[in-house]
Amino acid sequence: MVVQQPSASCRCIPPPWLWIGRGNPKALARDLRDGHNLFVTSLLNGNDVIRNLRVRMEQVAEGEGKNLDKDVHFGSQCCGYASDNQAEIGRCLDNVRFQRRISESLKCRAQSDDGHMVRETPSNTEPAMEQPRANLPVGSVKLVIGKLLEEISILKPKQIALQTQLRDFDQKTMPRQIELWGDRIIPAVRKELAQKQAA
């Protein structure tokens, strides 16, 4: 006996937004042609790199006959942490350094002695701790708001993907951090952006 099953297809309506992280201009151009949403990052490199990133994205968009601000959905990805506790800030920056080391190890295919686990090792290009401290939205609430507003004014992203929990921050710290961002930082940034848009 042969039983025919009705064909089934799974569709999500509306289709989910997919965001693609890219740095290569040719890949960016292809993604713009295909109408993908993009995430970009300046890593730990500060506002000069953000300015250059904005210019590069404008050039890629123009090359595809698009206006970066009107036709392209792109977001910014960064790490951030707000606290007046300098020990927490130091721990956050150490976690940022750890993440970068793991990323570099994966990129260079560095492995541990057993061939499976990635080794956390400093690279020749590892920045001093002062660089992420100066460039990332990390510090007091006021400082974080100021840095975010500065980055937004330069890059003009449609969205920001913010990572606050790096490495091994404990589960007591992170709910406080999320609450701080939700209650104070995000509303302050939105208010300032709305005032600038209205002016």
Residue 1: per-residue pLDDT:
38
Architecture of the domain delimited by 19-85+139-194: Alpha-Beta Barrel (3.20)
Look-up of token digits 């400093």: 122
Residue 3: per-residue pLDDT:
36
Q: What is the pLDDT of residues 90-130, one digit of tens each?
A: 888 888 888 888 777 777 666 666 666 777 777 777 778 88
The residue-averaged pLDDT of 62-79 equals: 90
Cα(82)–Cα(177) distance, integer angstroms: 7
Q: What is the three-class DSSP state of 139? A: strand
The residue-averaged pLDDT of 14-26 equals: 66
DSSP assignment of 100-138, as one string? HHHHHHHHTT---TTSSSPP----TTPPPTHHHHHHSSE
- Specify the amino acid at residue 156: K
Cβ neighbour number for residue 86 with a 10 Å cutoff? 10
| Token pair in block for residue 148 | 């975010």
Nearest to 99 by CA among 160, 32, 44: 44
Cβ neighbour number for residue 130 with a 10 Å cutoff? 9
Cα(194)–Cα(90) distance, integer angstroms: 33
Residue 59: per-residue pLDDT:
93
Ordered by start, the domain boundaries in the chain are: 19-85+139-194
- Considering the chain, what is the average pLDDT of its residues? 81
